[in-house]
Amino acid sequence: MPRILPGCHDAAAAIARWMRVSYLVVLLAVAWGLSACVPPADISDPTARAQMITTFRAGQTALECTVGCIASWVQNRRAAGALDTAGRWEELALLVARIGYMQDIGYYYLGRAAAGMGLPDAARTH
């Protein structure tokens, strides 16, 4: 009967476990990558832009995007900070609403923009 070296069975099991975990990580990365392809809302259309501002002024902007907006938010977060610092409130509100990233920072910027535009009710809502 062949002699099995000590620890070989454990190593094979560890490799098999590592391969299963790696496969799962790859699947999750692909799923996340595909969901990140959701484009931000288009504000080049004047009607859509006006509707977005009207919704914002009413305090009804809903940020509903999660994973699919992360890449867009990361690319634009410095721009949002710069717009906030410069007091360019309408542009800030449009940027945040266009991306739609559902995180506290997005609502913070919406609140700052509303307060800066003299919309206290919308600022409290956001």
DSSP calls for 15-26: HHHHHHHHHHHH
0.85 exceeded by pTM: no
Please report the pLDDT score of residue 42 as a whole number. 65
Please report the pLDDT score of residue 12 as a whole number. 72
Q: What percent of the chain has pLDDT over 90?
A: 56
Neighbours of 55 (CB within 10 A): 15
| Residues written for the chain | 126
At 31, the amino acid letter reads A
Going by C-alpha positions, the residue among 38, 50, 37, 117 that lies closest to residue 109 is 117
- How far apart CA 126 and CA 114 sit, in angstroms, is 8
Largest CA distance in the chain: 86
What tens digit of pLDDT does each residue of 85-124 get? 999 999 999 999 999 999 999 999 999 999 999 999 999 9
Please report the pLDDT score of residue 13 as a whole number. 76
Quote the tokens at residue 122.
């919308």
Averaged pLDDT for residues 68-96: 95
- How far apart CA 113 and CA 125 sit, in angstroms, is 12
Averaged pLDDT for residues 76-93: 96
Given a contact cutoff of 8 angstroms between Cβ atoms, the answer to whether 111 and 126 are in contact is yes
Q: How far apart are the first and last CA of the chain?
A: 74
What tens digit of pLDDT does each residue of 2-26 get? 555 555 557 677 777 877 877 666 6
In the predicted model, is pLDDT for residue 65 greater than 80?
yes
Q: How confident is the model at residue 37 (pLDDT cuts 50, 70, 90)?
A: very low
Averaged pLDDT for residues 36-43: 56
